[in-house]
């Protein structure tokens, strides 16, 4: 195994939580509100179905092929040639997904804070920081998640606690005025984000213990969904129907905070703390891409590839996304189908073929 580090259940749960939630709380309220309107808080609940399903599939595959990632057991299931092609498709998707995550980070920082700073400097600086963490290994990323994420979560809870006097619960009514379909259409983006639990495959082999991985994976999905519901409700109570016109409602909510005349304009603090969560998320994506590529190429070490792949991520973050408007539009249209096709259908296909082959053969699957 090219990675010698080990992490705990809690660290895996927090890494996956950061991978899904960090950018979801920024972009999902706006994207979901385009379809769901006042029912946007229901959409993550429907989207949770993808999260629960993919965790069950990935955990089942990890038990059939202990100590292997999706890149490795793909060859055992499909054979060397087809397995390599499948793995390349998944890795190319992961490269694109990682580039999108870096671009989302850069667009938010530039739009909210560094208005005159070229976005390439924003994404380049975080990529260099993430490269240091990735070079340190999975244990480094796990420790960062343990330290940073409780701070990030506490801050976002406090934002809406401070805003309680300004929240209007009546904004939630009427519930499902136009039926359930608007909230289901709005769930496309949550489905896409929660399908990223397929990346759990890259973390399970590095767990110190394997027995309770299903339980902790499900807890991570539940925590992610509850966070999305909480954020969507908080934004709905504060902004009402105009939420569909606000790109970053969480950031705008922070601007509303005013306690007396001494505690206000805390949006800079919000950005600073959010960057900690963004660092964990981007480092996790970066690490999974590097590890997967090294396994696909059967290299003895992943560390020489950290900087070249980091450079490739930055290039793709501009090549694959022409503009901020295109990125936002894609989140509610084509991107969810793209994410679900790769992150849900490929694991389902692998599991079905593995179970069929196990049923037909009495001996374990061997690499061709």
176-225 confidence digits (pLDDT tens):
888 899 999 989 989 999 999 999 999 999 998 888 899 999 999 999 99
pLDDT (tens digit, 9 = 90+) per residue, 146-185? 999 998 888 888 888 888 888 889 888 888 888 899 999 9
**Six-digit token pair at 167?**
């929240």
Q: Check residue 368 and give its pLDDT.
A: 46
- C-alpha atoms less than 13 angstroms from C-alpha of 101 in its C-beta half-sphere: 34
What pLDDT, on a 0 to 100 scale, did the predictor assign at position 119?
Answer: 87
| 68: in domain | yes
Alpha carbon separation from 91 to 233, 329, 368 (Å, rounded): 35, 24, 21
More confident call, 193 vs 270: 193
Domain annotation covers residue 271: yes
Q: How many structural domains is the chain composed of?
A: 1
Helix 306-319, helix 119-136: angle, nearest 10: 150
CATH of the domain at 24: 1.20.1740.10
178 domain-assigned: yes
- Peptide bond connecting 78 to the previous residue in cis, omega within 30 degrees of 0: no
Instruction: Give residue-wise pLDDT tens across range 16-69.
Output: 999 998 888 888 888 898 888 889 999 999 999 999 999 999 999 999 999 899
Give the structural domain span for 55: 9-360
Determine which helix (DSSP H) or strand (DSSP E) holds 285, and give its type and residue range. Answer: helix 267-296
Cα atoms in the 13 Å half-sphere on the side-chain side of 100: 23
Cα–Cα dist 322/238, whole Å: 32
Write out pLDDT tens, residues 293-309.
Answer: 999 998 888 988 899 99
Query: Residue 194 falls within a domain, yes or no?
Result: yes
**Measured distance CA(362)–CA(366) in Å, rounded:** 12
Distance between CA atoms of 79 and 73, rounded to whole angstroms?
9
Q: How many CB atoms lie within 10 A of CB 167?
A: 18
Predicted local distance difference test score (pLDDT) of residue 329: 81
Cβ neighbours for 135, distance < 8 A, ≥ 6 positions apart? 303, 306
| Cα–Cα dist 130/119, whole Å | 17
Strand pairing class (263-264; 258-259): antiparallel
Q: Are 101 and 331 in contact (CB under 8 A)?
A: no
List, for residues 93-137, the tens digit of each pLDDT value.
999 999 988 998 988 888 877 778 888 898 999 999 999 999 999
CB 349 within 8 A of CB 89: no
Q: What pLDDT shows up at residue 261? A: 64
CA distance 267 to 113: 9
Q: How many residues does the chain have?
A: 368
Using left for φ > 0, alpha for ψ between -120 and 50, and beta otherwise, residue 114 falls in beta
Arithmetic mean of pLDDT over the chain: 88
Q: What pLDDT, on the 0 to 100 scale, is given for residue 306?
A: 92
Report the C-alpha gap between 279 and 259 in whole angstroms.
Answer: 30
How far apart are the C-alpha atoms of 204 and 213, rounded to whole Å? 8
- Angstrom distance (rounded) from CA 317 to CA 323: 10
Which SS3 state, helix, strand or coil, does residue 11 take? Answer: helix
Task: Inform me whether the pLDDT recorded for 280 exceeds 70.
Answer: yes
Pair 112, 274: CB distance under 8 Å = no
Q: Are 306 and 137 in contact (CB under 8 A)?
A: no
What is the helix (H) or strand (E) element at residue 189, kind and residue range?
Answer: helix 188-194
Q: What pLDDT score does 365 carry? A: 47
* 85-89, 128-132, 239-243: least confidently modelled range: 239-243
**Over residues 65-93, mean pLDDT:** 91
pLDDT tens per residue, range 309-335: 999 999 998 887 777 788 888 887 888
Q: For residues 13 and 107, what is the distance between their CA atoms, to the nearest angstrom?
A: 27
Percent of the chain with pLDDT over 90: 47
Would residue 240 count as lying in a domain? yes
- Residue 92 within any structural domain of the chain: yes
Position 311 in a domain: yes
If you ran DSSP here, which 8-state letter would residue 344 be given?
I
| Residue among 328, 326, 290, 334 at smallest CA distance from 23 | 328
Q: Residue 366: pLDDT above 60?
A: no
The answer to the question of residue 50 being in a domain is yes
């Amino acid at each position: 195994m090219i990675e010698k580090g080990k992490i705990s259940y809690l660290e895996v749960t927090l890494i996956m939580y950061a991978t899904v939630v960090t950018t979801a709380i920024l972009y999902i309220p706006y994207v979901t509100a385009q379809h769901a309107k006042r029912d946007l808080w229901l959409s993550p609940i429907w989207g949770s179905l993808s999260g629960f399903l993919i965790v069950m599939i990935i955990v089942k595959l990890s038990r059939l092929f202990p100590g292997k990632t999706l890149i490795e057991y793909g060859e055992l299931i499909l054979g060397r040639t087809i397995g390599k092609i499948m793995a390349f498709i998944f890795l190319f998707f992961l490269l694109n997904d990682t580039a999108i995550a870096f671009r989302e980070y850069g667009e938010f920082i530039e739009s909210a804070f560094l208005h005159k700073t070229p976005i390439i400097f924003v994404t380049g600086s975080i990529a260099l920081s993430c490269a240091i963490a990735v070079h340190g290994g999975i244990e480094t990323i796990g420790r960062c998640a343990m330290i940073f994420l409780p701070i990030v979560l506490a801050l976002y809870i406090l934002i809406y606690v401070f805003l309680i006097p300004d929240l209007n619960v009546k904004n939630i009514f009427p519930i499902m005025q136009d039926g359930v379909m608007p909230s289901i259409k709005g769930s496309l983006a949550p489905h896409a984000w929660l399908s990223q639990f397929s990346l759990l495959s890259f973390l399970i082999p590095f767990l110190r213990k394997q027995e309770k991985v299903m339980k902790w994976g499900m807890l991570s999905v539940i925590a992610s969904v509850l966070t999305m519901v909480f954020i969507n409700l908080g934004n709905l109570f504060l902004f009402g129907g105009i939420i569909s016109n606000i790109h970053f409602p969480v950031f705008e909510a922070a601007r509303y905070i005013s306690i007396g005349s001494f505690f206000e304009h805390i949006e800079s603090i919000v950005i600073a703390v959010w960057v900690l969560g963004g660092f964990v998320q981007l480092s996790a994506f970066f690490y999974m891409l590097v590890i997967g590529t090294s396994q696909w190429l059967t290299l003895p070490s992943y560390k020489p590839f950290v900087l070249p792949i980091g450079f490739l991520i930055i290039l793709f973050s501009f090549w694959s996304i022409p503009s901020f408007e295109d990125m936002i539009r894609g989140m509610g249209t084509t991107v969810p189908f793209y994410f679900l096709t790769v992150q849900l259908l490929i694991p389902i296909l692998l599991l079905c073929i593995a179970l069929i082959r196990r049923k037909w053969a009495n001996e374990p699957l061997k690499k061709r």
